[in-house]
Amino acid sequence: MSLTATERSPIATIGYNDIGSPNSNTNTAENQLNNINTKEKFDNCLVQSIDEVIASLGAPVMHEFYDQLERNFKIQKIDIPERIEEFMELVHRIFGLGATRLELKFLQVLSKRMQARICCPECEYTVSKWIEMDVSFIDTLSRLRNQYLN
């Protein structure tokens, strides 16, 4: 079954002109698709890392945490990468001073999962050095994401 140009999905037509032959934007379109896939991989690793750390607190804590997150704040696990600032604000509200330990652990687990693709010297810090150096989880995560995507 062949689709006309108007029936093609936007993804199917990336890099093609109206008659379906490759155009000079093919490399750009392929790069955009690769960046989307790479971003999704990073986001999936981030969610898995956060999930692993939260799970280490015990099943009852993990279930209650995610239940509260979804019920009261309308954040599902898959939404965490897109709403990371809001998520971390909630982590700080829920866990108080313990949130800093969780931030460090999130980054350590993420760094191990992506060991060949990112470099995270902050992940080697102790919690006291993390606090002393005033390391920002959001800034560090943003730097790691950019490092991974480029």
- pLDDT band of 114, cuts 50, 70, 90: confident
∠ CA 6-12-17, rounded to 5°: 65
Indicate the average pLDDT of the chain. 78
What 3-state class would DSSP assign to 92?
A: helix
Q: Specify if 10 maps to a domain.
A: no
Q: Specify if 9 maps to a domain.
A: no
CATH of the domain at 91: 1.10.1200
Residues spanned by the domain of 62: 41-149
Q: 141: closest CA among 128, 115, 122, 116?
A: 122
Strand partners, 22: 16
Count of the separate structural domains present in the chain: 1
**How do residues 12-71 score in pLDDT, each as one tens digit?**
333 333 334 444 444 565 555 455 688 888 899 999 999 999 999 999 999 999 999 999
**What mean pLDDT do residues 106-125 have?**
80
Q: Specify if 11 maps to a domain.
A: no
Q: Specify if 125 maps to a domain.
A: yes
pLDDT of residue 14: 36
Q: Are 137 and 103 in contact (CB under 8 A)?
A: yes
Our measurement of the distance from residue 117's CA atom to the centroid of its chain's CA atoms, rounded to an integer in Å, reads: 14
Single-letter amino acid code for the residue at 46: L
Per cent of the chain over pLDDT 70 is 74
- pLDDT band of 146, cuts 50, 70, 90: confident
Residues near 93 by beta carbon (within 8 Å), at least 6 away in sequence: none
pTM of the model: 0.71
Q: Specify if 30 maps to a domain.
A: no
Q: Are 109 and 49 in contact (CB under 8 A)?
A: yes
